Amino acid sequence: MHWEFVAVGYSFVFGGLALYTFFLLRRGRQLSRRVPPDRRRFLD
């Protein structure tokens, strides 16, 4: 009973988190290459 709502809800939330994480990490990599070491603070 009501499994379809559970399936849609879980896929939306965890799918959304996965997508957000993917794009966030990718953007981090792209930006990271463009910043020289002397300006890298808070990164470790």
Partner 1 sequence: MTTSEVAPEAAPSGAEPPPHTGSAATRRLGFFAAVAVALMLFFGLYISGPEVTQGEAVRLFYIHVPTIAAAYLGFFVTLVGSVIYLRTRSQFWDLLAASSAELGVLFCTFLLVSGALWGKPTWGVYWQWDPRLTSTAVLYVTYIGYLALRRMELPPEVRSRRAAILGVISFANVIVVHYSVQWWRGLHQGSTLGIDSEIGGMQYFSFFLGLIAMLLVYAWLLLHRFRVAWLSQQIEELGLARALAERRAETDNGGAF
| Distinct helix (H) and strand (E) counts, the chain | 1, 0
Distance CA 20, CA 5 (A): 22
Two structure tokens written together for 7: 């399936």
Minimal distance in Å, beta carbon 23 to partner 1? 10
Residues near partner 1 (CB under 8 A):
1-3, 5-6, 8-10, 12-14, 16-18, 20-22, 24-25, 27-29, 31-35, 37, 39-44
Minimal distance in Å, beta carbon 10 to partner 1? 7
Minimal distance in Å, beta carbon 18 to partner 1? 4
